[in-house]
Amino acid sequence: QLKLVNPSQYRFEHLVTQMKWRLQEGRGEAVYQIGVEDNGLLVGLSEEEMRASLKTLRRMAEKVGADITVLREREVDYDSDVPRKITEVLVRKVPDNQQFLDLRVAVLGNVDSGKSTLLGVLTQGELDNGRGRARLNLFRHLHEIQSGRTSSISFEILGFNSKGEVVNYSDSRTAEEICESSSKMITFIDLAGHHKYLKTTIFGLTSYCPDFAMLVVSANTGIAGTTREHLGLAMALKVPFFIVISKVDLCSKATVERTVKQLERILKQPGCNKLPLLVNSDDDAVTAAQQFAQSPNITPIFTLSSVSGENLDLLKVFLNVLPPLTNSKEQEELMQQLTEFQVDEIYTVPEVGTVVGGTLSSGICREGESLVVGPTDDGKFLRLKVCSIQRNRSACRVLRAGQAATLALGPFDRSLLRKGMVMVSPEMNPTICSVFEAEIVLLFHATTFRKGFQVTVHVGNVRQTAIVEKIHGKDKLRTGEKAVVRFRFIKHPEYLKIGAKLLFREGVTKGIGHVTDL
């Protein structure tokens, strides 16, 4: 917008309608640039005009029920004596009926690069003591606390309210309180860095469908161990990622620069084709967040410390401005399809019965709805009823496409369920198969890859061993070759979709591809 000084009533109504539409399009968020003409010419406004324009913008926001925060302002060098400014403002709507923006960020990186500690510091709001105190709240098992290594997938939440302030556990808030007072929630999926737990990490990346990935690299060791592998996984699954270089308090500036250069070199390689963007100021962080969502080729790099807290707020600014990947139109199209819920975890909760956790990939799910779950070992689907729904530990009536939640199923027998099943609406008539074909690329293999080979296949939340039945047009495959291969599941049929991304591994063999035929 160029300027919004004392608009007439009619123009004001028009502006408000426009703001409503923009907010709906951006799922509750919009960024206004004031002092910029419609064709993108940076004109700038004088002090008074800017003040009046911001006042009008506040009035508009109040009318729609939103809050505004000034992200940044900049002076424009124009041929005038009065300094002219342009301002960028974030408008965020207070969620009605608990429709907060929900972004899922997977956290990757080598063992001991400081992933859990960084999350502990972000979500608990206090700095680390240098010996890993901040991450103790994230660990789920005793052996993790003893060895300091994450082996399971844990979830942490970080909220931002409509003014852009961080809402976390710092004032001994509970998860429900964080959900109630946030208009934007970021769920961090803390994955394991150790090579031994690679299958857990792959499962986390394929089944929880993260919007973004955060690759943590420790400044003093640089790129080591599983870092390259995690980078490759993120690229294979086409998850846009940004990089955090941690532990900068431990080493000299030269070491940090060396790590940054090493990363930039890898990112610019022909295989990656990314454009590294080093973030040094709030201004950079805002630019990075906007560019990053528009073009996945840009990779922001942060250098920070969880102990001294250096540059930690730049990461918070970035996460606050980061827009969601899908706009509301795409989400509405998904919501009109039939219900489909992926089962990722299964628990038994006393007095509630069986509870499943996972993601609703399409449709809408309401309390009390009847669904069918399957496939069982003999390929059948069983009927069940959803008793109640919880999202981020607070009750929720309706679940919309793309949201993660846990569903209580009441007295349903737990032994009939397993990870990788789907819950769908009864009229869907889901496609299940035990033999499927996929177009694959072999990433790394010691010898040749041939018929009769057994590999573990990951497709979304499905994880099962399969046998290679046939390689079309070739006898065997070598590293880097492409082919269409027929696989057969060993144990039971699974629910697959054509076009789904596929990852397989077996020892040192790794490959990626997509399902072409069932």
What is the structure's pLDDT at 487? 95
Delimiting residues of CATH 2.40.30.10 domain(s) in the chain: 329-424, 432-517
Fold for the domain defined by 101-325 = Rossmann fold (3.40.50)
What is the structure's pLDDT at 172? 60
**In the predicted model, what is the mean pLDDT of residues 449-463?**
88
Indicate whether 203 pLDDT > 90. Answer: no
What is the structure's pLDDT at 276? 92
**In the predicted model, what is the mean pLDDT of residues 106-125?**
87
Report CA-CA distances (Å) from 349 to 373, 396, 409, 421: 19, 18, 11, 20
Rounded CA gap, 515 and 88, in Å?
Answer: 44
**In the predicted model, what is the mean pLDDT of residues 374-384?**
88
Residue 55 vs residue 334, higher pLDDT: 55
Q: Determine which helix (DSSP H) or strand (DSSP E) holds 23, and give its type and residue range.
A: helix 9-25
Q: Determine which helix (DSSP H) or strand (DSSP E) holds 457, and give its type and residue range.
A: strand 454-459
What is the structure's pLDDT at 237? 84
**In the predicted model, what is the mean pLDDT of residues 491-496?**
90
pLDDT tens, 126-161?
888 777 777 777 666 666 666 666 667 788 888 888
pLDDT tens, 182-200?
888 898 988 888 877 888 8
Q: Cα-Cα-Cα-Cα dihedral of 376, 377, 378, 383, to 10°?
A: -10
What is the structure's pLDDT at 408? 92
Q: Rounded to 5 degrees, what angle do the CA atoms 316, 320, 321 make?
A: 125
pLDDT tens, 87-100?
999 998 865 554 66
What is the structure's pLDDT at 259? 92
What is the maximal distance between C-alpha atoms in the chain?
80
What is the structure's pLDDT at 149? 66
Delimiting residues of CATH 3.40.50.300 domain(s) in the chain: 101-325
Residue 373 vs residue 176, higher pLDDT: 373
The CATH code of the domain at 9-93 is: 3.30.110
Indicate whether 10 pLDDT > 70. Answer: yes
What is the structure's pLDDT at 447? 75
Indicate whether 112 pLDDT > 70. Answer: yes
Out of 3.90.1310.10, 2.40.50.140, 2.40.30.10, 3.30.1380.20, which CATH number does the structure's domain 329-424 have? 2.40.30.10
pLDDT tens, 206-262?
877 888 999 999 998 888 878 888 888 888 888 899 999 999 998 899 999 999 999
Mapping DSSP onto H, E and C, the string for 205-245 reads HHHCCCCEEEEEEECCCCCCCCHHHHHHHHHHCCCCEEEEE
Residue 428 vs residue 278, higher pLDDT: 278
**In the predicted model, what is the mean pLDDT of residues 9-30?**
87
Highest mean pLDDT among 78-82, 180-184, 275-279, 293-297: 275-279
**In the predicted model, what is the mean pLDDT of residues 371-389?**
90
**In the predicted model, what is the mean pLDDT of residues 284-299?**
88
Q: Is the dihedral of CA 270, 207, 326, 186 positive or negative?
A: negative
Both tokens assigned to 76: 């424009």
Closest CA to 319 of 169, 124, 186: 186
What is the structure's pLDDT at 154? 81
β-strands 101-109, 184-190: how paired?
parallel
What is the rounded radius of gyration, in angstroms, for the C-alpha atoms of the chain?
25
- In CATH, what is the architecture of 432-517? Beta Barrel (2.40)
**In the predicted model, what is the mean pLDDT of residues 343-351?**
87
Indicate whether 171 pLDDT > 80. Answer: no
What is the structure's pLDDT at 257? 93
Highest mean pLDDT among 65-79, 341-355, 391-405: 341-355
Closest CA to 444 of 504, 514, 516, 515: 504
Highest mean pLDDT among 76-85, 96-105, 405-414: 405-414
Closest CA to 321 of 283, 354, 356, 357: 283
Rounded CA gap, 245 and 134, in Å?
Answer: 18
DSSP 50-93: HHHHHHHHHHHHHHHTEEEEEEEEEEE--SSSS-EEEEEEEEEE
Question: How far from the centroid of its chain's Cα atoms is residue 116's Cα?
Answer: 16
Average pLDDT over the chain, rounded to an integer:
86
Q: Where does 269-367 have alpha helices with state H? A: 282-294, 312-321, 328-335
